[in-house]
Amino acid sequence: MPEPAKRGRPGPRRALTENQILDAALTLLDEGGTDAASVRGIAAKVGVAPNAVYTYFPDKAAVIKGLVERLLGEVDHGLFVDRDQPWRQRVESLALELRTRLSAHPGVVPLMIGGPMDGPNALALNERLLELLADAGLHPADGARAAYLLIVYVFGSIALEVADLPQPGPLPPESERIGTRLLAFSATPPEPYPRTAAAAAELAAYISTEQYLWGLHRLLDGITTS
């Protein structure tokens, strides 16, 4: 929505766009963890003075907010708006899609939990979920509560996963912690401990996804039998 333009115009060759800034922020978060998204770092990444960022965003919080919004905007609604599909499958698609999108950028999760998610895309997703549950035949009141439960589950699950993962580059000194965690949470204790960090990460990913689905099914059972 660019204003109709007044007298004078752009600036000097316009070195920046909002999306470049968000790209830089996301890259930094992905490779350096939650604390790596500094305004100065972002500016450096796009080759600009630190305060140039403030031409496009009022403050750092706005950058984060924009980033979260863009991420949420990427979720594929096509997966769960199809009214001909069984509703449980649609909920599952939504939950899995969200999880996939978010855990692809673990550094973002603490930031998005840190502040209110009231952007248009967040609200749109909320709305979709409510519609979906209404399609499932739930009374609006029950639909709202079920939506709450599902949202809590999705975000809680991701937050827990992220909190457990090593934030910065190198993996933790000992994979012992992963081992005990899996022992506590997984159905079958990993008989052979993962040798390499990559194997450990892969196993953890598999188990946590499987875990996630199991919990989701229990949730759905709870909702339907109420």
Partner DNA sequence: TACATTATTTGTACGACGTACAGAATTAAC
Partner DNA sequence: GTTAATTCTGTACGTCGTACAAATAATGTA
Q: Can you tell me which residue has the tokens 């949202």?
A: 151
How far is residue 113's CA from residue 168's CA, in Å, rounded to a whole number?
19
Asked if residue 12 binds DNA (CB under 7 A), the reply is: yes
Interior/surface letters 140-169, b for 16+ CB within 10 angstroms, e for the rest: eeebeebbeebbebbbebbbebbeebeeee
Binding pattern for the stretch 33-72 against DNA, x by CB under 7 A and - elsewhere: ----xxxxx-x---xxxxxx-xxx--xxx-----------
Site for DNA in 124-143 (CB under 7 A): none
Which is nearer to its own copies, 42 or 165 (by Cβ)?
165
Helices assigned H by DSSP within the chain: 18-32, 39-45, 60-73, 87-103, 108-114, 120-135, 140-164, 176-185, 197-224
Question: Which among its own copies, DNA, none contacts residue 52 (Cβ within 5 to 8 A by kind)?
Answer: DNA
Site for its own copies in 154-213 (CB under 8 A): 154-157, 159-160, 163-169, 171, 174, 177-179, 181-188, 211
Interior/surface letters 174-202, b for 16+ CB within 10 angstroms, e for the rest: ebeebbeebeeebeeeeeeebeeeeebbe
User: Which one among 110, 121, 190, 197 touches its own copies, defined by CB under 8 A?
Assistant: 110
Which is nearer to DNA, 11 or 78 (by Cβ)?
11
How far is residue 133's CA from residue 147's CA, in Å, rounded to a whole number?
8
Which is nearer to DNA, 51 or 180 (by Cβ)?
51
Binding pattern for the stretch 207-226 against its own copies, x by CB under 8 A and - elsewhere: ----x--xx-xxxxxxx-xx
How far is residue 69's CA from residue 122's CA, in Å, rounded to a whole number?
7
Question: Which among DNA, its own copies, none contacts residue 203 (Cβ within 5 to 8 A by kind)?
Answer: none
How far is residue 66's CA from residue 11's CA, in Å, rounded to a whole number?
23
- Whether 171 contacts 197, CB under 8 Å: yes
At its nearest, how many Å lie between DNA and the CB of residue 155? 24
Closest CA to 119 of 73, 169, 162: 73
At its nearest, how many Å lie between DNA and the CB of residue 47? 7
Which is nearer to its own copies, 33 or 41 (by Cβ)?
33
Residues that bind DNA (CB under 7 A): 3, 5-16, 37-41, 43, 47-52, 54-56, 59-61
Residues that bind its own copies (CB under 8 A): 34, 110, 113-118, 123, 126-127, 130-131, 134, 139-149, 151-157, 159-160, 163-169, 171, 174, 177-179, 181-188, 211, 214-215, 217-223, 225-226
